[in-house]
Amino acid sequence: MKCHECRYLMFDYIDKKLSEPVIGEMEKHMEECPSCAERMAKLNRQQEEEKPSGLFWYLLMPSGGFKRFFFVGAIFTFILVLALISFQLKKPLFRLF
Ligand SMILES: [Zn+2]
Indicate the average pLDDT of the chain. 84
Q: What is the mean pLDDT of residues 14-42?
A: 94
* DSSP secondary structure, the chain, as one string: --HHHHHHHHHHHHTT-S-HHHHHHHHHHHHH-HHHHHHHHHHHHHHHHHS--SHHHHHH-GGGHHHHHHHHHHHHHHHHHHHHHHHHHHS-SS---
Sign of CA dihedral 62, 67, 73, 78: negative
Which pLDDT value is given to residue 88?
81
**CA of 37 relative to ligand 1 center, distance in Å:** 7
Which pLDDT value is given to residue 41?
93
CB 14 within 8 A of CB 47: yes
**Which residues are within 5 Å of ligand 1 (an ion), measured at CB?**
3, 33, 36
**CA of 11 relative to ligand 1 center, distance in Å:** 15
How far apart are alpha carbons 67 and 12 in whole angstroms?
A: 31
Q: Which amino acid is it at 91? A: K
**CA of 16 relative to ligand 1 center, distance in Å:** 19
**CA of 78 relative to ligand 1 center, distance in Å:** 55
Is 93's pLDDT higher than 90?
Answer: no
**CA of 36 relative to ligand 1 center, distance in Å:** 4
Which pLDDT value is given to residue 97?
61
